[in-house]
Structure 1
Amino acid sequence: MKLYNYFRSSASFRVRIALQLKGLAYDYLPVHLAKGEQKQADFAAVTAEGLVPVLQLDDGRRLMQSMAIIEYLDETHPQPALLPADPVGRARVRALAQIVACEIHPLNNLRVLKYLVHDLKASDDAKNAWYKHWVRLGLLSYEARLAEQPGTYSHGDTPTLADCCLVPQIFNAQRFDCDLSGLPRTMAAFDACMKLDAFQKAAPDACPDAE
């Protein structure tokens, strides 16, 4: 398999975590978003959306969207499972993952931040305030959900799809100096994940294109 991704992309980071947890080998193909490589013709031939990650399978077919890619990996390589066996557990894990992937991330990804600055003429201070506001709001929701049920990780005592989403978001929150106080369960789940080789090997600073 081949993974088109960017070392700082949280969506790419999610997929790298899943691949590492599954023990799946892949070729790392960097697409530098900050330099605009996603807009170049060779990547446009890979995906019309101009977004990462893209997972190219051994037969040449390509999968887009991190959540869809991770669920594909979980269905085709079921162990270790990233979704619980029970329907309620699966719904809870998907809901936690979507707090990050559907509520926090879309408001704060690189193209949105660039639009705020370049098109809407927001100042850097305003952009950073925007980023921190939505991260804080989303993580408070995440914390409230974790408080409902004990566990080492976001759901139970093994990493799940939710952790694949949480860890990259915390990395970005730390990079942007967001307020992470008052999130004891969330940060405990993050710390537990970062003790595992799979999360360490998938981290941005472990990527070949890290700067």
Structure 2
Amino acid sequence: MTAPKLVLYNSDACPYAARAVIALAETNQDHEVIPIDLSVPRPEWYLKDINPYGQVPALKIDDKDIILESLFVAEYIADLHPESGLLPKDPLQRAQTRYLIHHWGARTQPAHHKATFISDATEAAANREALVVELEKFNKLLVDAHRVEGDGHGPFFLGDKFTFADLAIAPFLARFFLLGQYNDSKEVTQKEFPQLERFFEWKEAVTARLTVQKATPSQETLTNNYRKWVK
């Protein structure tokens, strides 16, 4: 089968778009990148022909079909390359992968956002405590991950191999350091919270992945870019 022609509409600072960037790198998929500046109103052609909501990423396939939303874009890329092993074959692992991503987006990431992007010290401290509670719940999901023969005992969600759950949350783990950058909150560390050992093992492995590092701007750039979100 002839490989499709892929065009990715991307913004380097966007963690959601980074999911697609990482998927393309993990699969060595040929593609073209068209940058979209999120700091200005989107061009009319983008709203009309690509994404009426103006968001990234968007993926154009063979100059006609469009896929929107980061998880669907990344999953399509992973499906093109089953040999990459990004999408687990075991049904239980696939279900756990979907739930881990959902849980992060619905509960863990909002808690991190509330603790990070606020300047009031008292409220920031309270939000940091709430974040730790959410991280404890997330830590249990990591501990309870179903392993099948051959997965190994590695640090990723499903063992030795970097898979879709790691990919989908990686851009947010790469921004976890922002906690405390805009207020007096302390960084959440394993030394202070040893009950989060599995989370920190996983986070360190995922953020050390070369494809993740290449898809992540510098910490200085991210710190400056996100300052506008601080209340």
Whether the TM-score (by the shorter chain) exceeds 0.5 is yes
List aligned pairs for 1:57-68, cutoff 5 A.
57-68=61-72
1:62 is paired with a residue whose SS is strand
Partner deviation per Cα, 1:25-56 (whole Å, 9 max, x = no partner): 222222232x1344x42321221122111111
SS state at 1:82 partner: coil
1:103, CA displacement in angstroms? 3.6
Aligned equivalents of 2:95 and 2:22: distance in 1? 21
| SS of 1:157 mapped into structure 2 | coil
Q: How much has 1:102 moved relative to structure 2?
A: 3.8
- Unpaired runs of 5+ residues, structure 2, are 1-5, 146-152, 181-185, 219-224, 226-231
Report if aligned partners of 1:167, 1:193 keep a CA contact under 8 Å in 2: yes
* TM-superposed deviation, 1:184: 2.3
Tell which has more relative contact order, 1 or 2 (C-alpha 8 A, sep 6+).
1
Matched AA of 1:11: Y
CA contact (8 A) 2:111 2:134 kept: no
* Alpha-carbon distance between aligned partners in 2 of 1:86 and 1:147, rounded to the nearest angstrom: 18
So what's the TM-score if we normalise by structure 2? 0.70
Aligned residues: 194
Q: CA deviation at 1:131?
A: 7.9
Written as runs of structure 1 = structure 2, the 5 A alignment for 1:44-123 is 44-45=47-48, 46-105=50-109
- Secondary structure of residue in 2 paired with 1:204: coil
Identity of aligned residues (%): 26
Could you tell me how far apart the structure 2 residues matched to 1:131 and 1:62 are? 39
Counterpart position of 1:116: none
Task: Report the AA paired with residue 200 of structure 1.
Answer: Q
Residue of structure 2 aligned with 1:158, choices 161, 165, 183 = 161
1:141 aligns with 2:137: yes
Distance 1:58 1:82 in 2: 23
1:54-112 Cα offsets, whole Å, 9 max, x none, are 11123331110111112211222212121211101111111112222344457888xxx
1:6 pairs with 2:14? no
87-96 or 140-149, which moves further after superposition?
140-149
Give the 3 Å change call, closer, same or farther, for CA 123–69 of structure 1 in structure 2: closer
Q: Are residues 180 and 83 of structure 1, via their aligned partners in 2, closer, same or farther at CA, if it must alter by over 3 Å?
A: farther
CA distance in 2, matches of 1:4, 1:125: 36
Distance 1:62 1:82 in 2: 22
Amino acid at match of 2:142: L
Secondary structure at the residue paired with 2:34? strand
Deviation at 1:141, TM superposition (A): 2.6
Q: Does 1:42 align with 2:50?
A: no
Please give the alpha-carbon distance, in whole angstroms, between the structure 2 residues aligned to 1:30 and 1:76: 23
Matched AA of 1:198: T
